[in-house]
Amino acid sequence: MPLNASPFSVYCTCVIALLGLCMGSFLNCLAWRMTHGESVLHGRSHCTSCGHVLGVRDLVPVFSWLSTRGRCRYCGEHVSWRYPATELLCCVIYVSILLRYGLSIEAVELIAFASVLLVLSLTDLDTYIIPNATIITAIGIRCAYIVASAFVGQDPFVLLRDSFVSGLVVGGAVLLLSLVMDRVLGRDSLGGGDVKLLFVAGLYFGWQQCLFLIIVACVMGIVMGMLGQRGRGSSEGEESRLIPFGPAIALACWVCMLCGEQVVGWYVGLF
Ligand SMILES: [Zn+2]
């Protein structure tokens, strides 16, 4: 159901925006726990510096951070701007998907996938690792969508076949390319997690859109690498030369969600 400017659609957009803010806060917490080896199911949210358990007023997305001017209420330690930024980004991503797809199972699928992409981007930024749990979750969401598609008149078997053929083509091609690049450069060019993530992108977007996705990811990767280098300075060691590619692929996936089909349609129309 496409959304127009009716009061109902304004209401839906507000609900999704609020959900995006809250989920952004939750996904931040989830990513932090995954990178610090804490249980993702048990334990209450706490300050990462003093360990004080956070109350309700510390957990309001964006506003809690603004009200304490980016400091912990209990120990005064600086709280990274990345927390409110992720919450706002999650809100923008959710709303953009709703506006693009309306109230549909595609929107539900892509909002769930975007949430996984956000978590793996945060873990990749911190640890240069894309956890297998995020890859498996993304594959699970795609499979659930394929099953659900039978209820809206699509053939789930055709969708399953096309998705996995595309995933294997994209993942296989990127794996082959990275092995050649490793040989030529004499060092690791692309992480295993990046290859798995591109396989997942193939499942969701098909190999045609993935050609566009990889170009966008490379441009984003170069820009993020340059910004990161400037932020860190040039005097650091081997670690500073590593560029996490996961966030660039994740951003490219978001671009594909919003306009991948149109770009491929336009390009095919040129011939
Ligand atoms: Zn604290």
pLDDT tens digits along 101-151 = 999 999 999 999 999 999 999 999 999 999 999 999 999 999 999 999 999
Q: What's the CA-to-centroid distance between 118 and ligand 1, angstroms?
A: 25
Tell whether 135 and 74 lie within a shared domain: no
Q: What is the pLDDT of residues 164-211, one digit of tens each?
A: 999 999 999 999 999 998 899 888 878 889 999 999 999 999 999 999
Is residue 57 located within the same domain as residue 136? Answer: no
Distance in Å, CA 244 to ligand 1 centroid: 29
The rounded Å distance from CA 30 to ligand 1 centre is 18
| Residue 97 belongs to some domain of the structure | no
Percent pLDDT > 70 in the chain is 94
pTM: 0.91
**Number of domains within the chain:** 2
Confidence check: pLDDT of 239 > 90: no
Report residue 241's pLDDT band, with 50, 70 and 90 as the boundaries: low
Domain boundary among 57, 92, 127: 92
What does the pLDDT look like over 242-267, one tens digit per residue?
778 999 999 999 999 999 999 999 99
Q: Please indicate, yes or no, whether residues 165 and 256 belong to a single structural domain of this protein.
A: yes
Is 182 in contact with 206 (CB distance < 8 Å)?
no
**% of the chain surpassing 90 pLDDT:** 70
3-state secondary structure of 59: coil
pLDDT band at residue 229 using 50, 70 and 90 as cut-offs: confident
Ligand 1 center to 196 CA (angstroms): 37
C-alpha of residue 78 to centroid of ligand 1, in Å: 8
4 occurs within a structural domain: yes
Question: What spacing in Å lies between the alpha carbon of 53 and ligand 1's midpoint?
Answer: 9
Distance CA 87, CA 66 (A): 13
Query: Is 233's pLDDT higher than 90?
Result: no
Same domain flag for 35 and 162: no
* CA 68 to ligand 1 centroid distance, Å: 12
Do 132 and 7 belong to one domain? no
Tell me which of 67, 92, 117 is where a domain ends. 92
108 and 218 fall within a common domain: yes
- Mean pLDDT over each residue of the chain, to the nearest integer: 90
Q: Domain range holding 181?
A: 104-233+242-263
Q: Which of 41, 57, 92 finishes a domain?
A: 92
Query: Does residue 86 lie within any of the structural domains?
Result: yes
Q: Is residue 98 part of a domain?
A: no
Say which residues have a Cβ less than 8 Å from residue 145's Cβ, sequence separation at least 6. 105, 106, 108, 109
Q: Are residues 150 and 174 in the same domain?
A: yes
Compute the distance from residue 250 Cα to the ligand 1 centre, in Å. 31
* Interval 4-19 mean pLDDT: 90
pLDDT of residue 240: 52
Q: Tell how far the Cα of 73 is from the centroid of ligand 1, in angstroms.
A: 7
String of b and e for 185-204 (b: at least 16 CB within 10 Å)? eeeebbbebbbbbbbbbbbb
* Residue 220 is assigned to a structural domain of this protein: yes
pLDDT at residue 224, as a whole number? 87
Q: What's the mean pLDDT in 55-62? A: 89
Judged against a pLDDT cut of 80, whether residue 29 lies above it is answered with yes
202: in domain: yes
Is 258 inside a domain boundary?
Answer: yes
Q: Hey, is 71 helix, strand or coil?
A: strand
Q: Does residue 109 belong to any structural domain of this protein?
A: yes
